[in-house]
Structure 1
Amino acid sequence: MSFDRNVRTVYPQSSWTEIWHLWTVIVPRRSINGQLVYGKVWRRHDGRDWIYKKFTEYDTEAA
């Protein structure tokens, strides 16, 4: 019996793992002026790890 060593997980991926959702991140340190550092990112789970993408807001009036 041979095994495929390229398989990442034993379980098949769920459908929710392919959905990006907006997540607010708070960094546990303070900025120069004393405020907490935070921001929004896109994130999804690939079955093993979380994947993050930068979230860039834009003004709908200017678009």
Structure 2
Amino acid sequence: MSLDRNVRTVGPQASWTEIWHLWTVFVPRRSINGQLVYGKVWRRHDGRDWIYKKFTEYDSEAAA
């Protein structure tokens, strides 16, 4: 019997995998004016890969 080491088994997920984290991302390129490109995203691990969502900031005074 041979074992296939490329097969990943997904065991029970840790509790932290269900939590979205606010993450700052740096893109490895520069903008038109020469500055680094960066931004904030929501990030969560699904047990196998990272999932990213767009983070949109809002003005708390304008929302009230």
Instruction: State the TM bucket, normalised to the shorter chain.
Output: 0.7 to 0.9
More helix by share: 2
Identity %: 92
Shift of the alpha carbon at 1:57? 0.1
Q: TM-score, normalised by structure 2?
A: 0.81
Number of equivalent positions: 63
- Relative to 1, partners in 2 of residues 1:35 and 1:8: Cα closer, same or farther, differing over 3 Å? same
Shift of the alpha carbon at 1:11? 1.2
> 1:6-41 CA distances to partner (integer Å, 9 max, x unpaired)?
998341111100000100000010000000000000
Structure 2: gaps of 5 or more residues: none
What value does the CA root-mean-square deviation take over the aligned residues?
3.8
Structure 1: gaps of 5 or more residues: none
Q: TM-score, normalised by structure 1?
A: 0.82
CA distance in 1, matches of 2:5, 2:29: 41
